[in-house]
Structure 1
Amino acid sequence: MTMDSQGKRITRRRFLAGSAAAAAGGALRPRPGHAQPKEVLLAAVVALTGPNAAWGQRTWNGFQLACDLVNEQGGVKAAGGAKLRYVVADTESKPEVAGSQTEKVIQRGAAAITGTNQSAATIVATQIAEREGVPFVCATDVDPLITSRGFKYTFRTSPVVESYARDLLGHIRELGEKAGKPPRKLAILSENSIVGQSSVEGAQKVAKELGYEVVDASTYDAAKTQNFAAYITRYRSGGVEVLIGHNKPNDAILITRTMKELNFNPLAYGGILGGHVSTEYVNALGKDADHVLATTSWSADADIKGLKELAAKYRERFKEPLDSTAAGGFTALAVLWDALERAGGADRKKLRDAIAATSLRTGDRMYMQLRGARFLPSGENSLAGGIVYTIRDKEWLTVAPREYAKTQAVYPRPRWGA
């Protein structure tokens, strides 16, 4: 559970109330109007340090590369070729720091912001952006609270966490039925962040609808938990057939290693976003990551216009493969670039209205997430959808839905050592 300094549990409701109060301080001084700029300042408020740093760094990588590619193509043509200037602000993986950093980039004149790779931090950052009338595009954070507060300047391109849980559990159920061995007993193990708690709630709801028996639904303190043997031993003795969760990369690695050490062999094992879609996970585990299932809104094997070229440029610059988190950086910039061209410049109100009227297909202007973008009044993406993939030889291969599938998942998952 998430706890405050007095030892009280921080629920999603308590967090929202507290962050609203924190963001309700004096408004920033308005900036005077000025002539059409020769450049447009965009900001990424992301975690570069702390437990969410791996995700934040890759979103920042994708975002800055995308900006550079726009500039190489002549900048924002509707604004007289204005170049994109980008800055990054480190949240340190702390919601309160995300709030102060958001204020700072707004004071510097950012026309729009993306971030933060941590739902709790995004909840705070978007409250400040809303107060100041600055568009905020979120491509990777999935807690439903982000777009459920009636904000006009917050937009999310990805599905919410419950949707990802539905994709994963639905596909596992389908695999089991085809194999004549449908899974029944389910355990959910997630870290105790705001989105981790939401993943447990959403997965429990979906599991009930799909006919699973939820044997255990637990959250753990990601800052303190270094040993998962007690959980895995309980799941093995309780006959758990499916284990899923939302975990940070190091936690996902430790859980998988513990499963192998204790010879726990569920029919299926997978991640709801989180560490299972990270480069750290596949690099650390090698073959032990094979046949793990995971959900995201992008995959390297998807047939996306321009993907191969972008992936090559990304690898050349950052010396690692493009992953779903970095793809989120490209996606956020695609929305902003498209809106800047239609708004004719960096006026924040006009830019906000242009974002609200977005109609992008996957591949347009480097938009990498699947199915494209068209925003509802809430800021939610009406076209958002996830995929399920399996890991083989350090590669993510799409297995569902059928229109994107490149291979079939192995079910039951092979036993350790098989």
Structure 2
Amino acid sequence: MTQVQTTAEKNGFEGLGIAPRLLQILQQNRFTTPTPIQHQSIAPAIEGKDIIGIAQTGTGKTLAFGIPLIQRVAQQNGRGLVVLPTRELAQQVNEMLQRIGRPLGLRTAVLIGGESMRRQIEQVKRNPHIIIATPGRLIDHLEEKTVAIGNVKILVLDEADRMFDMGFAPQINKIFEHMAGPGARQTLLFSATMPDAIVSIATRHMTLPVRIEVAPAGTTIEAIEQEIYIVKKESKLPLLETILREHTGSVLVFSRTKHGASKIAKHLHMQGERATDIHSNKSMGQRREALEGFKIGKYRVLVATDIAARGINVANIQLVINFDIPENSEDYVHRIGRTGRAGKEGKAISLATPDQQSDIRAIERLIRKTLSVKRHESVSEELLAIQKLIRKRPSPRGGGYRQSAPSAGGWGTKRAFSPRGNSPRSFARTNRAPRTH
């Protein structure tokens, strides 16, 4: 595995082997300077190399794989497959690919749970160049033989560590069983962390992958100011109200549970706050309305669970509040990465109970930084000292999410996704530009 580590580089997209027409589209969309992950990933990916990209959320990963994906699919008249953990993330990746690829005639299909089967089968009938899918729904189609992926030339696994956290390992392995071997396809894998499961994929399913790490694994974005309050459980809601009064911008609040998210949002709404919640008990339409309302300012506060928040990509979130400390310290990195994006300043405040000090230490070890910890007035110094003694030995870390893969029935059709025909000339003519040195 070849490894590349880098800091931000301010070179343009011109020297990365991107086709002239794609460069023009990027400029028209005001993408002029690649982020570090884009700068390091695009050129080797266009050359056909397998990539492992280690980068946090909000670092431009979608274009890092999207540009090579669109260009190589056009060059090869082949097909691409993007597999990712959540519905919301699938929709947002599709929006970005369409934004760049639509002028070239790109067609995509989005295969996710919670949407009309009839509409999805209509998408597949249009013979898309790229399918974007969540693991559970893709497996459903593979089993029903409504989709065949044996001839896919480029596979993208986005937020791979999150898919394993959500229990999708069996589905990911099964997807590989339906595909051609490593030498017959290109694989681009992007992840915020590098757990053993990712190393296993690289060993078994990738060919000499280039590892690109734009920041040490487990670190958070430096622009984010981080604070932790030690507070009794019954004092969390009043403290949350105080924090919200002190901050006027948009706020993303994380809860461990669906019930907790609903309770927090309802409480804030009763206090006159423009708040809503998003979690897996909500319908797709409700989740979309909540997210769009948060984006346009209809809601100032969005309360979310970790799973539902995976697709949230909202600019200018000023504050992230961890109402509950996450079960896994890696989730802390994912959560606070929603603020401080694109080099902007951000702030994250976490509310921890006195018996969670070992969880705080685990987070500090992961991010390699000592956090500012404040004692709320609800917690006496004596109680804090007692809890420090009780929690001297770290407790076992939480074991990931127990959510099962999304499930859906077949479409009642046997038409498979295949790489034959229907390639617009404008799309097929996207030839690669010569490399410049």
TM norm structure 1: 0.28
With CA pairs under 8 Å and 6+ residues apart, which has the higher RCO, 1 or 2? 2
Which is greater in Rg?
2
